[in-house]
Structure 1
Amino acid sequence: MISPVINWYFKQRSQDLRMNLERADQKQEELLVELIERLSNTRYGEKYQISENSTYDDFRAKVPVVVYEDLKPWIDRNMAGEQQLLWPGDIVWYAKSSGTTSNVSKFIPMSFESLEYNHYECSRETLTQYCAFFPETEIFRGKGLLIGGSHRVNALNQNAFYGDLSAVLMNHLPAWVNWKSTPDMEIAMIENWEEKLEKMAQSVYQENVTSMSGVPTWTLVLLNRLLEITGKNNILAIWPNLELFLHGGVSFEPYKDQFASLIPSNKMNYFETYNASEGFFGLQASPGKSDLLLMTHHGVFYEFYPVSKGEEYIIPLSDVVIGVNYAVVITTVGGLWRYVIGDTVLFTDTKPYTFKITGRTKLFINAFGEELVIENAESAIAIASKETAAIVTDYSAGPIYLSNQGDAGHEWLIEFSKEPTSFEDFIRILDSALKRANEDYQAKRQGDIVMKLPKVISVPKNTFHDWLKSKGKLGGQNKVPRLSNDRMVIEEIKATMGLF
């Protein structure tokens, strides 16, 4: 039971959250006015002739839509000590982010406003929403297990400090938050993921853990290691008071059955958040549903463009249409101006704004006009797994280009923790589910003329772990690219296996 004081606090926050979401368009307009005023006091705003009286039309006409590479020269100068470039204040903290679809690390500026009014406020909104759903929660009686990247902070020079997003956030949190978290900072700061995982497993099983937060893939690795160490049959035998898993980073759907097996309790709750180094954007709208609430009042101004058309068709949030697949463009209190984050979303409602994450602008397969996106793949994998009693640990797919043998199609590398009852049935069901989910895929598969039945290879245990390790991308926010529009990832993983 939440104490009366905490209950009152979150009840007040819940009312404020609901009111702000109902006034989302107004909140976005007010935020843009503030952001334009800030932009007018920067060198970036000076370059693009933005004044404090500029309108949205001015902003849209003058300030270009950019990706990280466009802002990198500005960020590099900022990190060298030059200020007032992208944001009118001193920025000395940067979240180092390893891109899913790129080998180049990104250093995202973290202003005070970005930390306090976006990341921390949205974290509070997450707890607000959860406590509104489950007023009898006991999560505050135990500790929260944080399964993030290394919390070590690195000094690039006297003007710039960087680390994983979790490191930057933890460095600015009050001491009481660390007191209610596990593992301790000595373990959390370990940079080697495998060493950190082992030490974490050896220490946290003795704690009263009531909640966990992390990426599902890495969390499963830790939970399975805990069972090995303790000899217990399930996680509840270790943490009987565990009730919440806050997850993000990848779709939870393919891992739902694995978590249910490890944590066999109908009182266990799973709650999705949508956050990244660039910002905290959304959280679960209601229990048992995958729709996310867009956080429209915490330092991020949103624009969108239809993936099928391109950025010349960019629109503000107030103009979005339900059912259209959009790329997300953000302007933030961290100094990111009209920045393409690389994610795609589809709105399911506009009162309030709720949406589903459909993938990434670079995570798709469209070698033959099939326009396969990650949402299609995740759904099909889940269906095929359920109907063949399989458990998928991870996977990656890419195109097989047309050759003299005429074997064009898709190749899937799948790591199973439990093999399907019939491998042939798994492939057939996967293909059928993709056809139902995607009309373009169905058309290209018609009659086996353009694309053949998917080629599925069951890869050995730890294949994806070893591939990520070879690239120095274990733990934290790192994850396997699920879909690629070329064969580079597929060939790299097959090389790891010794297949050429």
Structure 2
Amino acid sequence: MATKALFNSVVNWFIRQRIDQIEHFKKYPRETQEGLLFSQMFYAEDTEYGQKYGFSTISNYKDFQKKVPIVSYEDFEPYIEKARQGQKDVFWPGVIKQFAKSSGTTNAKSKYIPITAESLEDCHYKAGKDLISIYVNNHPESELFQHKNLRLGGSAEMYQDFNTKFGDLSAILIENLPFWVEIINTPCKKTSLMSEWESKMKAIVSEVRNEDVGSLTGVPSWMMVLLQRTLNETGKNNIGELWPNLEVFFHGGISFKPYKNQYKEIIGKEIRYYEIYNASEGFFAIQDQARSDEMLLMLDYGIFYEFIPMEDFHAGNRTAIPISEVELNKNYAVVITTNGGLWRYLIGDTVKFTSISPYRIKISGRTKHYINAFGEELMIDNVETALKIACDKLDVSISDYTGAPVFMTNQSKGCHEWIFEFTKKPNDIQEFASIFDNTLKTLNSDYEAKRYNDITLKAPIIHSAKPNLFYEWMASRGKLGGQNKVPRLSNDREYIDPLLLLNKA
């Protein structure tokens, strides 16, 4: 009893200290960000990259804008390749020994994201502690520490290449976790990091079915697969029956909107849902309010943020602005400078600010995952919202989907084509299509203009996928596991055509 009281006392002290620090950067966002930027430039000024772009001569943000270019992965790859070969002081002091192999693709090649000691400790692990601190601060009655956290990570396979190693970010994080964190996590490290997906799922179910789980952490789509298999194996009616102390799901990676009703059904009781925004490049934001799905942009993780308005980005203008100049409800491409050694790097995500005091965001999509074949500027947040409304109205559930344009020909106008894998189908798919289409019109004026009287765009084509279509498709591409995501939108037919073909098989 005394040990538990001491533990709670230490935890509460740590939480109070950290909440005070978070309040400080919320109060002084510009100062926090600029201080971080210049300390990192000072630290890296003698690297090859720092010398090339004159870090030591930069004394203000305007200089930084002028002298240091905004880069994509393709632009920065030559420096990453040097670092992967073991060269030191390329873009960050010393030798970088580990790289996260990203599931994202750039010109069909994997991306290798540098992971430094600073990015591990001051970004990824700090964020994990903050997630707990924020949650417990919001819910002081929580019993989180009395039960296990079920995590769903990636493969442990680490590959030696040149003088460095690369693998899934989750493997790097789990391998470097302190021992005391392992005590509260399930499954064990060995099971968590198994490589072959089907064997891994069986092993996880076998291990966690008898645990006392209080929280879940993972990507909604893959966690749903695990929970369904666990129910099948245990014969329980719902997850709440199996784990009565489950109180929260910490989720990220993809939008939770299409899965909300499914989780409510499969869990069978009310729990809390907290969203996080992280990637191989860094950990960026955490939902800090219990009743809101906005996320607080974390400004003291060694990441300096800049933003490019999407109308400028589409026009080829890569002029970025600092956080102090952003506007509400406007789409921005995110540019980051990190303690992992990335300098003015386009991560490929787009966000909208829902608040600027403090800075809270929602993920609105990807710079490459959108549909703009006819000037409709359709982003993922429009689609997710429209789908939620259509699903709620018709009591429908969707597990996965993707959409793409049908291009104009001499004989016909263009339209959008969608394939949805329903876990609970609509009675009338045309009614579903109509609600979805009409809601998109209310959410996106460009889409509405193109759909007006079918002048440019005809009504969307909707297909119902056979069960497990997306799982089969991901398996055929070697993309099973929590690090991999189904592309929701595409400006070409790279994804939808193979899916439609597989759906007929």
Give the Cα–Cα distance (whole angstroms) in 2 for the partners of residues 323 and 112 of structure 1: 35
Per the normalisation by structure 2, the TM-score is 0.96
State the one-letter code of the partner of 2:201: L
1:127 matched to 2:140: no
Q: Quote the residue 1:298 is aligned against.
A: 301
**Structure 2 residue aligned with 1:68:** 73
Query: 1:85-484 residue pairs with structure 2 within 5 A?
Result: 85-99=90-104, 103-157=108-162, 159-266=163-270, 268-310=271-313, 311-484=317-490
Cα 1:53–1:434 change in 2 (3 A) is: closer
How far apart, CA to CA, are the structure 1 residues paired with 2:43 and 2:498?
A: 45
After superposition, what is the alpha-carbon deviation per residue over 1:300-326, rounded to whole angstroms, capped at 9, x for unaligned? 001111000134431111111112211
What are the Cα deviations for residues 202-229 of structure 1, in whole angstroms up to 9, with x where unaligned?
Answer: 2211111111100000000000001100
Asked if the contact 2:102–2:113 (Cα under 8 Å) also holds between the matched residues in 1, the reply is yes
**Aligned partner letter, 2:229:** R
SS at match of 2:18: helix
User: Does structure 1 residue 48 correspond to structure 2 residue 53?
Assistant: yes
Deviations 1:220-245 (A, max 9, x none): 00000011001100001111111111
Say if 1:151 and 1:190, in contact at 8 Å, map to a contact too: yes
8 Å Cα contact 1:412/1:454 also seen in 2: yes
CA contact (8 A) 1:36 1:54 kept: no
1:495: Cα distance to partner?
Answer: 2.6
Counterpart residue type for residue 111 of structure 2 = K
Q: What is the deviation of 1:264?
A: 2.3
Cα distance in structure 2, aligned partners of 1:54 and 1:136: 48
Which residue type is aligned with residue 323 of structure 1? N
Q: Distance in 2 between matches of 1:380 and 1:6?
A: 42
* 4+ runs deviating over 6 angstroms: none
CA contact (8 A) 1:152 1:188 kept: no
Match of 1:329, SS state, is strand
**C-alpha deviations, 1:382-410, integer Å up to 9, x for none?**
11111111110100000011124414100
> What one-letter code is carried by the residue in structure 1 that aligns with 2:443?
A
How far off its partner does 1:101 sit?
A: 7.2
Q: State the alpha-carbon separation in 2 of the partners of residues 257 and 344 from structure 1.
A: 25
Q: Percent identity?
A: 46
CA positional deviation for 1:19:
1.8
For the aligned residue pairs, the C-alpha RMSD in angstroms reads: 1.5
Tell me the alpha carbon deviations over residues 21-79 of structure 1, each in whole angstroms, 9 at most, x when there is no partner.
Answer: 21111100101111211231210111223216543222211111101111111111111
Query: How many residue pairs end up in the alignment?
Result: 497
Q: Distance in 2 between matches of 1:206 and 1:155?
A: 37
Opposite residue 145 of structure 2, the aligned amino acid is F
Shift of 1:88: 0.9
1: CA distance, partners of 2:288 / 2:443: 24
Instruction: Provide the TM-score with structure 1 as the length reference.
Output: 0.96
Q: Could you report, residue by residue, the CA deviation over 1:359-390 in whole angstroms, capped at 9, with x for unpaired residues?
A: 01011101111110000110111111111111
* Aligned residues of 2:100 and 2:115 also touching (Cα < 8 A): yes
Q: Given that residues 272 and 283 in structure 1 are in contact (C-alpha distance below 8 angstroms), is that contact kept between their aligned partners in structure 2?
A: yes
SS at match of 2:289: coil
Measure, in 1, the Cα distance between the counterparts of 2:60 and 2:28: 20
| Structure 1 residues 397-432: Cα deviation after superposition (integer angstroms, max 9, x where no partner) | 000111244141000010011111221110110001
Q: How far is 1:257 from its partner?
A: 0.6
**1:229-274 CA deviation, whole Å, 9 max, x = no partner?**
01100001111111111100111111111111111223x1100000
* Structure 1 residues 424-462: Cα deviation after superposition (integer angstroms, max 9, x where no partner): 110110001111110111111111121111100001011
Residue aligned with 2:312, SS: coil
Q: Residue 101 of structure 1 contacts residue 363 of structure 1 at CA under 8 Å; is this kept in 2? A: no
Whole-Å separation in 1 of the counterparts to 2:398 and 2:458 = 23
Distance 1:194 1:289 in 2: 35
Deviating more after overlay: 65-74 vs 14-23: 14-23
2:498 to 447, 470, 492: 492
CA distance in 1, matches of 2:447, 2:305: 31
- Distance in 2 separating the partners of 1:386 and 1:22: 38
Q: Aligned letter for 1:381?
A: L
SS in 2 for 1:313: coil
Counterpart CA distance in 1 for 2:399 and 2:376 is 25
CA distance in 2, matches of 1:176, 1:454: 52
Separation (CA, whole Å) in 2 of partners of 1:486 and 1:313: 26
Aligned AA for 1:71?
F
